Copies of this chain bind each other. A is one copy, B any other.
Amino acid sequence: MSKRINSKDVAREAGVSAATVSYVLNETKSVTISKETREKVLAAVQKLGYVPNQAAKTLGSSRIVGKSKSNLIGLVIPQTESGKELMFDNPFYGDFLSAVEYAARQEGFHLLVSGVNADQSYIDIAKNRSLDGIIILGMYPSEDNKEYKQIGIPTVLVDCYGTDHFFHSVRTDDRYGGYLATRHLIQHGHKRIAFVSGEVKESGVTDMRFLGYQDALREARIPYDPNLVFTGYVGYQYGIEAAAKIAQGNAGITAAFAAADIIAVGMIKGFRNLGLRVPEDISIIGFDDIYQAEICDPGLTTIRQNIKEKGNAVAKIIVSAAKNSTFPKTEIVIPLEIVERESVRNL
Contacts and interface: CB of A to CB of B under 8 A. Distances in A.
Contacts of A59: 53, 55-56, 59
A91 B89 CA distance: 9
B296 A127 contact: no
A105 B66 CA distance: 26
B292 A269 contact: no
A327 interface: no
A265 to B, nearest CB: 5
Q: Which of A55, A99, A101, A269 has the most CB of B within 10 A?
A: A55
Contacts of A115: 101-102, 105
A134 to B, nearest CB: 13
Contacts of A70: 55
A269 B53 CA distance: 51
B101 A94 contact: no
A127 B53 CA distance: 7
Interface in A267-314: 269, 272, 291-292, 294-297
Contacts of A86: 97-98, 101-102
A224 interface: no
Contacts of A114: 101, 105, 110-111
A346 interface: no
Given A112-B112, A115-B102, A93 B91 contact: no
Interface string A47-78: 00001111110110010011010101000000
A128 B4 CA distance: 11
Nearest to A65: B1
A6 to B, nearest CB: 10
Interface in A93-140: 93-95, 97-99, 101-102, 105, 110-115, 117, 124-125, 127-130
B98 A89 contact: yes
Contact of A110 (B2, B52, B112, B266): B112
A236 interface: yes
Q: Which of A114, A115, A236 has the most CB of B within 10 A?
A: A114
A60 B173 CA distance: 47
A110 B129 contact: yes
Contacts of A111: 112-114
Contacts of A3: 65
A152 interface: yes
Q: Which of A85, A124, A127 has the most CB of B within 10 A?
A: A85
5 contacts: A56-B59, A59-B59, A88-B97, A101-B113, A296-B297
Cβ-closest 4 pairs across A and B: A88-B98, A55-B58, A51-B127, A88-B94
Interface of A: 1-4, 51-56, 58-59, 62, 65-66, 68, 70, 72, 84-91, 93-95, 97-99, 101-102, 105, 110-115, 117, 124-125, 127-130, 150, 152, 236, 265-266, 269, 272, 291-292, 294-297
